[in-house]
Structure 1
Amino acid sequence: MNYRKFFSAFCVFILCVTMLSAQVVNAGEEKVASDTIPTYPGGQKAFRKFIKRNLQYPDYCAQFGAEGVCTMVFVVEANGYISSVSAKDCKITQMNSGKSERYSDDQLKAIKKECARQMAKEGLRVIRKMKTWNPGKKNGKPVRLIHSLNLTFGINYVDDEM
């Protein structure tokens, strides 16, 4: 199956755009909750559209039918720019058993680790590509905040030519 051909049918699910933490980050200050969280310009719908247009399913993962969830962590600066992007956690939730059953446990472990690394790498690329956000606020003033969200990588085998 040509995965690039079916990329338009590939479903990138944002199962959760979960606010795992919204903490003011200023040097020398205690971390405290903000009054408002950062938001993507245009809201959730615009964010999902951006992700769907920009997130690419890694070829390596396609070889094994790997699906997974990556928790991405980044800072939304007081001016709305994105900084300090990292993949906090990336887990493989499913693999095509027909493609993975021919490998030893050690080989499968290495394959899953590389799939998780490839998904994290793609998540980093896409987050860094995002435009300026609407910053979070504390006492009415824009503040630097840590933001976390889950990106779910899934594959849809529906032919887009139907």
Structure 2
Amino acid sequence: MKKIITLLLLFYSIAAFSQTVEKQEDNNIYNTAGLDVKPEFPGGLDKLNAFVNESYLKAGYASEIKGKVYAIFVIEKDGSLSDVKILRRVDPPKAAALIQILKSLPKWNPGKQNGKVVRVLYSLPLVIGS
């Protein structure tokens, strides 16, 4: 009986003090070029441009900017956008309005790499005022 109790205590102590391997969450930001599944806006890029232009009109900048504006942002694992930046020369208030519009977008379908949802750096040319 003493041997059984000693063995049980030995196995319990081994189990209690053994190291466990924790899975580290992949927070790397991937480029769209090497992904298995690229992120996409629900409805496609045409719907995205229509949404941005409509929101831009509502913000009162209808005739202020016409042409292409480049935005860069990270599409998170949940489909939300972060680190939104406007890359073209745009006045700060107009750039801030575009950033708010992009942040208010519905969630994207996130990108996947090796079957796992990943963060993706996305560059987007926006056609404004057309």
SS at match of 2:88: strand
CA distance in 2, matches of 1:85, 1:33: 21
CA distance in 2, matches of 1:131, 1:60: 22
Deviations 1:11-56 (CA, angstroms, capped at 9, x unpaired): xxxxxxxxxxxxx9617xx868212221011223432332232123
CA distance in 2, matches of 1:117, 1:126: 14
SS at match of 1:50: helix
Residue 146 of structure 1: which of 106, 114, 121 is its match?
121
Q: Which sections of structure 2, spanning at least 5 residues, go unmatched?
A: 1-25
Q: Tell me by how many angstroms 1:60 deviates.
A: 7.2
- Counterparts of 1:6-155 in structure 2, within 5 Å, are 26=28, 33-56=34-57, 62=63, 66-87=65-86, 89-91=87-89, 116-154=91-129
**Distance change in 2, residues 1:151/1:118 (3 Å):** farther
**Distance change in 2, residues 1:134/1:59 (3 Å):** closer
The structure with the largest alpha-carbon Rg is: 2
State the TM-score, normalized to the length of structure 2.
0.62
State the aligned residue count: 104
State the TM-score, normalized to the length of structure 1.
0.52
SS at match of 1:79: coil
CA distance in 2, matches of 1:25, 1:146: 12
SS at match of 1:148: strand
CA distance in 2, matches of 1:60, 1:132: 24
CA RMSD of superposed structures (Å): 3.1
**How many percent identity over aligned positions?**
29
**Structure with more contact order per residue of length (Cα contacts < 8 Å, sep ≥ 6):** 1
